[in-house]
Each structure stands twice: as structure tokens, then as C-alpha cells.
Amino acid sequence: MTQLPVSAWEDQGKGKQGRELKAAVLIGCRPPAAKIDLSATEANEDVTDVFARARNGQYRLLKIDIENEYLTVTSSRQPEESWDQDYDSFVLPLLEDKQPTYILYRLDSQNAQGYEWIFIAWSPDQSHDDVSLSGYKKHLISQSSPAPLTSAEEELRQIKINEIQTDISVDTKHQTLQGIAFPIDREAFQALEDLKMRKLNYVQLQIDIKNERIVLANTAETEVKDLPKRIPNDAARYHFFLYKHSHEGDYLESIVFLYSMPGYSCSIRERMLYSSCKSPLLEGLEKQLQLEVVKKIEIDNGDELTADFLYEEVHPKQHAHKQNFAKPKGPAGKRGIRRLIRGPAETETPND
């Protein structure tokens, strides 16, 4: 067993060699009860070594208990399968009915700071289901769901939905300053509302050119690695993707809009219609459905849709501003008398 003073727990992310572990998601908010010595500041080298190896991906799980006012690594496991396949068989057997504990569990995903971790604070008065894999997924859904509405707010929301559904039932298109707004089928509209409520994580729309309508094309469960397969090579599409990721230690679920247009394999009319309908579609959804799209991306094909590409598009790197050099001032004092030079038209030729 390795030990670490309780007060040095947070200091692990501030010490030398960058030995930090950041939890992507916190499950449970009641830490184990213990008498904590806040005057202790020195970390046991064994624990710092464990944390360093964990940061490099050696461990899947670390179980941490409080013994004699010290944080003690009492159990560890190395990865065997994917993180979700390992989860229940690794975590649940460690939960004791009368012993609170901390568990650090490593995901397979990474960000700019390294592997992402789940921090679990287990208390005996909690149910095992709360920290099971299904409980973890329910926790993520509840964290990202909109706040509960009052009766008045719910009534107002329903009124707006009815107004939108009245608009999209009109079969005729209408011209806008930005382009052409085609009506949206009810099925497509319902899928977008489900995406907003996190019931779906991917919605693909296409234009029915013959009937001049926007219709639903696909709502398959989609991860980042699946996105390239969702992009047709011979037709344009609109894609709405719920991008689940972590940024600077915070778990985020961001809606990203992808407009795929595979170059000249589409007809001229198809290219014109998709280009003209894009802005009115997004403006209508953002205004009437309150669908918050954090990033709009236009692509030719799905080859570039990697995890790194999406992350950098949603969270672009901040480039340092290049400071312009100040123009040096001229010498102090007088520069002499200015000369007045007449132009050719002003020059007089004396007559003798």
C-alpha cells in the first residue's frame, strides 16, 4: 500500500514533473468521513510514482482509502478490455457496504492534458446502481439535460412548438434575404428536438429536391469514429452531431453542424439548393427551437473528421498576438526651415 497525506491530494497536480490526474466527471458529492490533518504537506514518493504511472496510462483503476489520516492506494487494476467493458467488473467488487472510498477510473479518451478520468466518491448509503456503468451514463444525461421548466415555461415552450409545426406544415417555399427556406418535415423536426433533449446524438437531413422539402435521412447512434461513414460520397447532406468531450477538465456536450458537399459529383441544382437553404435552416432552428449550434463546418468528404479535427474546430488554439514595432520618433528639436518648391505652372519666366 502507498500513502499520501490527505491535504496533499490536490497538490499532486502542482508538483514537479507534471504529475497530475484530472477527473473528467465527478460521481457522488459526499466524500468519506475522516479526521483530516491539514498541516501535512509532504507527499509519499510511492504515491507520486503511482500517480505518474497512472497519468501515463498504466492503470485502469486506482482505489483510494483514508487510513490514519493518510490517503492510501489500496487497490489498482490494469486495462483488460475497453473502458466500458472493464467498468462494472472492476468498480463494483470494490464497493464495501460499511467502508467509504474514492475510486479513480481511467477512460480511453484523451485530450490535450492526457487521459481522462472519472472520480467516484463512494459512500455506503448510496446504491451500487448509482456508480454502475448504467448509473454513470444516467449521470451524464442528467448533467447535460436542460433545467426543469416551471408550468408557465412548459406551456410557453409548447406554444412555440405548435407555432413551428404550423409553419413547417406549409407546403410552399418562401424566399429570404439569405436564401431559400424549404419547409421541414415533422419527422425531421421531431428528430432535431430529440437531439436537443439528448435523446439522439446524430441527425442527418437531406433535401427532397423534387418536392422541395427538408426531410430526415438518418438518426443512427454515432460516435466520433463513426462520422466518416455517415458522409455520402455522391450527395450533399446536413448533419447535426452531439459532440461529447472534455475540455480543460469540464465534460461538454456540444452540437456541431456539418454541411457535406462532395464537390462536382452533385448536380448544379443540388449544390445551389443546399447552399441556399443552409443559412435559413440554421437561423430558424436557433431562433424557434433554441437549438444551440456551437460550430458550423463545411466539408467535402468524411476523411478529415477525426477526433483531433473536431476538438480543434470547437476549441481553436489561441494564437499569441504579434505586437507591431513602434515607429521610432525623429530627432528632437528643429529640423530647419521648410523649402517651398513651386510647380512648373507656378514658375514665372521674367521678360527682358
C-alpha cell at 188: 425531421
Give the mean pLDDT of the chain.
Answer: 76
Give 282's contacts (C-beta < 8 A, 6+ positions apart): 257, 293, 296
Residues 54, 12 contacting (CB under 8 angstroms): no
Strand partners, 60: none
Band (pLDDT 50/70/90 cuts) for residue 2 is: very low
- In this prediction, residue 78 carries a pLDDT of 93
Cα 245 versus chain centre, distance: 5
Higher pLDDT, 291 or 139: 291
The predicted model gives 309-332 an average pLDDT of 70
**Of the spans 10-14, 109-113, 135-139, 195-199, which averages the highest pLDDT?**
195-199
Higher pLDDT, 317 or 92: 92
- In this prediction, residue 22 carries a pLDDT of 42
Give 279's contacts (C-beta < 8 A, 6+ positions apart): 178, 179
In angstroms, the CA 148 to CA 50 distance is: 42
Element (H, E) at 64: strand 61-67
CA angle at 216 for the pair 211 and 222, rounded to the nearest 5°: 155
Q: 107-121, 127-141, 169-183, 270-284 — which is least confidently predicted?
A: 169-183
Give 304's contacts (C-beta < 8 A, 6+ positions apart): none
In angstroms, the CA 262 to CA 53 distance is: 45
- In this prediction, residue 326 carries a pLDDT of 54
pLDDT above 50 for 31: no
- In this prediction, residue 42 carries a pLDDT of 40
In angstroms, the CA 54 to CA 224 distance is: 25
In angstroms, the CA 51 to CA 71 distance is: 12
In angstroms, the CA 219 to CA 201 distance is: 8
Give the Å distances, CA to CA, from 29 to 120, 137, 321.
Answer: 9, 17, 41
Task: Give the model confidence (pLDDT) of 130-139 as tens digits.
Answer: 788 888 888 8
The predicted model gives 21-30 an average pLDDT of 40
pLDDT above 90 for 124: no
Give 95's contacts (C-beta < 8 A, 6+ positions apart): 101, 122, 128, 131
Cα 33 versus chain centre, distance: 34
In angstroms, the CA 172 to CA 127 distance is: 55
pLDDT above 50 for 166: no
Q: Which of 202, 24, 235, 209 is nearest to 119 (CA)?
A: 24
In angstroms, the CA 7 to CA 158 distance is: 51
Cα 299 versus chain centre, distance: 19
Higher pLDDT, 56 or 216: 216
Task: Tell me 333's DSSP state.
Answer: S
Task: Give the model confidence (pLDDT) of 234-281 as tens digits.
Answer: 899 999 999 999 988 889 999 999 999 987 788 888 888 998 899 999
Please name each of the domains of the chain with its CATH number.
2-144 (3.40.20.10), 151-314 (3.40.20.10)
In angstroms, the CA 311 to CA 297 distance is: 12
Q: Are strands 202-208 and 180-181 parallel, antiparallel or unpaired?
A: unpaired
The predicted model gives 210-229 an average pLDDT of 93
Q: Which of 226, 309, 223, 247 is nearest to 111 (CA)?
A: 247
Q: Which of 95, 44, 22 is nearest to 87 (CA)?
A: 95
Task: Give the model confidence (pLDDT) of 337-348 as tens digits.
Answer: 555 555 555 555
How many Cβ atoms from other residues are within 10 Å of residue 27's Cβ? 19
Residues 202, 219 contacting (CB under 8 angstroms): yes
- In this prediction, residue 173 carries a pLDDT of 45
